[in-house]
Amino acid sequence: MSTSNKTKHEPTVLLGVTGCIAAYKACELLRSLQKSGARVKVVMTPMAAEFVTPATFKALSGEEVAIAPIDDPARPIHHISLAEEADVFVIAPATANTINKLANGVADNLLTTTALATEAPLIIAPAMNVHMWRDEVTQESMDRLYERGAVIVEPESGYLACGDVGEGRLAAIEDIAQATLAELSRSRDMEGKSLLITAGPTREHLDPARFLSNPSSGKTGYLIAEEAARRGARIALVSGPTDLKDPFGCSVVRVTSAEEMLEAAEQAFAELEPDAAVFTAAVADFRPLERSQQKLKKGDRGRETTLQLVANPDIMATLAADKGLTYVVGFAAETQDVIEAAAAKLETKNADMIVANDVSDPTLGFASAHNRWHFVSKDGVESTEILHKRTLAGLLVDRIAEAT
Ligand code: PMT
């Protein structure tokens, strides 16, 4: 018999708070989650209580705050009852110390013991000094936790409490709340379905040292792949060069050029017979007519020279031409007449939906964490707010789940 007193319809977020200056931001996260209808229970490390008192979290949550392994006579095995109560466990802020412990299964306080005991999805929002974040040990721990299925809400870059500038600042509270709520309501509605996704830029080499490309980071495609995989889909991701790790639960083929991307996508399409194909890649429209095997010298070219280009194959148009029952989603990055351009692509590329994004604002689109999308289909246009790309990925997968 469970010792949990959770009522059946009350979704419970267990909020883990660890000891760092950003601990006060957990109060705001708690409020944001409560406003969305979640019951929030707080578990703190002893060090976190040095930054924000348990009394603050108790007053805000209306729940006892868990901190000492044996502090609740009604629940003598406290870490197990907490672990069972949690529908989602979000650790925000998560320090390097706690992250490195979690990655190694160290359970030396109530928070880490509960993390080891729970079967609830784990969300980690790190916050620390930039050098601690970049440290090889921390990065290895992050990789391990991600590979085991944790959702990572990446820290932001900026001024840090210690005076340094760089990555390590806790992500925006709204982004952590959205990631937490997405886990709380996650369905397995993509179970049994398969998706082909292209992502990232392509590089079209002139010579071994130079190439034509664009600023796509791959984030959009990778987050769509991760979201669909977490909802049960089988994913083949064909990716151009990016710094990103393979998304959780996805099979990834890494390529460099548009021609290689076409070959890999055609192969995956034939093998997978996907229910949907999503083309987020920013494929270079042209490549140099000739690729030199040696680095080109400035030599005697003078001050002006001409580069001859040849059109690349259109990967999406090629696969969509013979798409059968596959639901085809294309992307369009535009700087003007965004909706009109997307509607035109719906026709020319034989797509079921084009996701248009306005990249005239340099803070949105390429390589940003946030974006605003317009879903353009024969049924009309639906526009989103500016949201984290993870949340946008969820909205797109909702539509794919419905359409396939
Ligand atoms: O990777 P991020 O940093 O997150 O950035 C995301 C993004 C801005 C790159 C992405 O959201 C996006 O908009 N991708 C499409 C970029 C674009 O302008 O595509 P396009 O208009 O050139 O092509 C339209 C569609 O055809 C796209 O789905 C594209 O993948 C596909 N295409 C285009 C050319 C080509 N040779 N092959 C293709 O498959």
Written as tens digits, the pLDDT of the chain (404 aa) is: 344 445 445 799 999 999 999 999 999 999 999 999 999 999 999 999 999 999 999 999 999 999 987 656 676 678 888 999 999 999 999 999 999 999 999 999 999 999 999 999 999 999 999 999 999 999 999 999 999 999 999 999 988 888 888 899 999 999 999 999 999 988 899 999 999 999 999 999 999 999 999 999 999 999 999 999 999 999 999 999 999 999 999 999 999 999 999 999 999 999 999 999 999 999 999 999 999 999 988 776 677 888 999 999 999 999 999 999 999 999 999 999 999 999 999 999 999 999 999 999 989 999 999 999 999 999 999 999 999 999 999 999 999 999 99
Q: How far apart are CA 251 and CA 137, in angstroms?
A: 26
Which H or E element spans position 387? strand 387-388
* Same domain for 164 and 20: yes
Residues 318 and 378 in one domain: yes
Q: Are 21 and 52 in contact (CB under 8 A)?
A: no
- Binding site membership of 374 for ligand 1 (Cβ less than 6 Å): no
CB atoms within 10 A of CB 19: 19
* Among candidate residues 329, 293, 300, the one with its CA nearest the CA of residue 403: 329
Nearest-atom index, ligand 1, CA of 319: 39
Q: In this structure, are 77 and 150 located in the same domain?
A: yes
Atom number, ligand 1, closest to the C-alpha of residue 281: 30
**CATH number, domain with residue 24:** 3.40.50.1950
- Kindly give the interhelix angle for 110-117 and 96-103, rounded to the nearest 10 degrees: 40
Q: Kindly give the distance from the C-alpha atom of residue 382 to the centroid of ligand 1, in angstroms, as a whole number.
A: 19
Cβ of 258 less than 6 Å from ligand 1 = yes
Q: How far apart are CA 330 and CA 351, in angstroms?
A: 7
pLDDT computed for residue 306 by the predictor: 87
Confirm if 284 and 269 have CB atoms less than 8 A apart: no
Rounded to the nearest angstrom, the distance between the alpha carbon of 331 and the centre of ligand 1 is 5
Q: Where is the domain boundary, 187, 211, 241?
A: 187
Residue 136, judged by CB atoms within 10 A of its CB (0-12, 13-18, 19+), counts as exposed
Ligand 1 centroid, distance to 173 Cα (angstroms): 30
Integer Cα distance of 314 and 179 in angstroms: 34
User: Is residue 18 classed as helix, strand or coil in its secondary structure?
Assistant: coil
- For the CA of 313, the closest atom of ligand 1 is 36
Quick one: 329 and 391 in the same domain? Answer: yes
Q: Are 292 and 308 in contact (CB under 8 A)?
A: no
> Do 225 and 180 belong together in one domain?
no
pLDDT one-digit tens code per residue, 276-322: 999 999 999 999 999 999 998 877 667 788 899 999 999 999 999 99
Domain end position, chosen among 146, 162, 187: 187
Rounded to the nearest 10 degrees, how much is the dihedral formed by the CA atoms of 75, 79, 80, 84?
Answer: 100
Q: Residue 73: its pLDDT value, please? A: 67
Asked if 235 and 254 sit in the same domain, the reply is yes
Q: Which helix (H) or strand (E) holds 75?
A: none
Residues 266 and 352 in one domain: yes
Q: Are 114 and 205 members of one domain?
A: no
Task: Determine whether the shortest distance from the Cβ of 235 to ligand 1 is under 6 A.
Answer: no
In a domain, 3, yes or no: no
Report the length, in residues, of the chain. 404
Residue 244: CB within 6 Å of ligand 1?
no
Give just the sign of the alpha carbon dihedral 196, 197, 203, 204: positive
User: pLDDT of 337-365, one tens digit each?
Assistant: 999 999 999 999 999 999 999 999 989 99
| Catalytic residue set | 162
CA 248 – CA 124 distance, rounded (Å): 14
Q: What is the CA radius of gyration of the chain?
A: 24
| Bridge-based pairing state of the strands 88-94 and 370-371 | unpaired
Give the Cα separation of 216 and 357 in Å (integer). 13
Select from 140, 161, 187 the last residue of a domain: 187
Beta carbons of 30 and 15 less than 8 angstroms apart: yes
List pLDDT tens digits, range 266-276: 999 999 999 99
- Indicate whether 2 belongs to any domain: no
Same domain? 201 vs 178:
no
Statement to judge: residues 153 and 204 lie in one domain:
no
Q: Which residues contact 363 (CB under 8 A, 6 or more apart)?
A: 370
Number of folded domains that form the chain: 2
CB 214 within 8 A of CB 283: no
Interval between CA 241 and ligand 1 midpoint (Å): 14
Six token digits for residue 14: 């267990």
Domain identity same for 36 and 149: yes
Query: What is the residue range of 116's domain?
Result: 12-187
